[in-house]
Structure 1
């Protein structure tokens, strides 16, 4: 891949990652409930979903999904339902309170965060359609395809990790003080629960 083309890919990838979505909401929620460092598990799950999306598109399956209304809507509504489910869980979650009156951080396993991050990104058929439109701009059919796909995937994944961890997860630190009280926890649960539900509804109707 030519350096100028790669720079264009970096710019496009950064703009995509900086656009708030379910992945960003999931990352911020993880950072607030489990801490900045441990939120990386959820980010890794989201990256695996991105890799799977690229493989689906590269294998040609993405064309089948995007051209089949049934498959597209099946994945679409499943993804929307999952986000709404996460939102309702957040809205119904109770604040944790320690014996000394301070609310401790919620301990969630890394695998649980990884799995949720995977499904949040994977159950989004619009990501497949997006990659179908996005990838051809940076792939040259007359050159070896595998190295190009590897470079594209690695670039998109690294950029998304940087944006998710050092912008969205780090930004959530500014709200960390709210987790030290029951009222603050409930407020955050309502905010992120509403965001998850809102994104789920948008995915279903837009």
Structure 2
């Protein structure tokens, strides 16, 4: 695929991904409350969701996705419910034993976290708008070959790794600055509220 087209796509995706939305809110809230534990798997699910939406756009299934949206509706509400569950866990997390209290009492399955991130992305209105409405104006999708799709997918993973990684690092640094039980309790409530807001955004758009 032409390098200039890949650069244009990368730049557009970077801007779109960096703008806070339900997915970013979910990642930041999770890292604030839990640290890096499980963050990679959750981010991987989000990136896979982006590549799936990219595939729909390239395959010309945008109209199909908009018209027969039952599956996407299910994913949308599944993602919202997952975020709501995480919000409740964060809100009720204990904070009487320092940072360790925020660590997961029970190790979460990487597969479950990946599927959670995937569900969030598949139901994220911001991602839908980018791939189904904006992307066709950025790249001539009808000219994209299988190799071109593979190249776009690699660019997608690279760009999201930079954007999501930056948000994770910033959230982790903010988390470490607040080490007292009282601060952690407030942090839990803030993270839970942000996650609940992300759940509402996914469910209502």
- Regarding TM over 0.5, the answer is yes
Larger displacement relative to structure 2 (182-191 or 76-85): 76-85
Match for residue 103 of structure 1 among 99, 105, 112: 99
Q: Is the contact made by 2:14 and 2:163 (CA closer than 8 Å) also made in structure 1?
A: yes
> How well do the aligned residues superpose, as a CA RMSD in angstroms?
2.8
> In structure 2, do the counterparts of structure 1 residues 26 and 204 end up closer, same or farther at CA, with 3 Å as the change threshold?
closer
Q: Is the contact made by 1:76 and 1:124 (CA closer than 8 Å) also made in structure 2?
A: yes
3-state SS, counterpart of residue 79 of structure 1:
helix
Corresponding residue for residue 6 of structure 1: 6
Matches within 5 A, 1:59-74: 59-68=59-68, 73-74=73-74
Q: Is the contact made by 1:139 and 1:149 (CA closer than 8 Å) also made in structure 2?
A: no
Corresponding residue for residue 118 of structure 2: 118
Residue 203 of structure 1: how far off its partner (Å) = 2.9
> Matched residues in 1 for 2:87 and 2:37: separation?
23
Corresponding residue for residue 91 of structure 1: 91
- State the TM-score, normalizing by the size of structure 2: 0.79
> Matched residues in 2 for 1:113 and 1:96: separation?
26
Consecutive unaligned residues of structure 2, counting only runs of 5 or more, are none
> In structure 2, do the counterparts of structure 1 residues 31 and 200 end up closer, same or farther at CA, with 3 Å as the change threshold?
closer
Corresponding residue for residue 177 of structure 1: 176
> In structure 2, do the counterparts of structure 1 residues 35 and 83 end up closer, same or farther at CA, with 3 Å as the change threshold?
closer
